[in-house]
Amino acid sequence: MERKVITSHIFPPIPVRCFDWCAWFDDLGADCSPYGYGRTEEEAIEDLLENFGDED
C-alpha cells in the first residue's frame, strides 16, 4: 500500500525559492511527519520520498 502524501504551497517571505512547497505523509499528520521541500510540488514530494519514503 502506497502512503498518501499531502502538499502545501507555503511560499515563505524569503528570497530563496527552494522552500516554496512542503510535503508530508498524511497517515502521520503534519505535526509528526518528516517533511520534504522544493521549488515545485513535485520536487517537495520527491524530496520527502527520497529521504523518508522507506521508513514505516
What is the pTM assigned to this prediction?
0.85
* Residues in Cβ contact with 2 at an 8 Å cutoff, skipping those fewer than 6 apart: none
**Residue 55: is its pLDDT beyond 70?**
no
* Residues in Cβ contact with 15 at an 8 Å cutoff, skipping those fewer than 6 apart: none
Distance CA 14, CA 4 (A): 29
Q: Give me the domain span that covers residue 40.
A: 5-52
Nearest CA-CA partner of 20 in 47, 55, 53: 47
pLDDT tens-digit readout, 2-41: 789 999 999 989 999 999 999 999 999 999 999 999 999 9
Q: How many domains does the chain have?
A: 1
Find the DSSP H helices in 11-52.
41-52
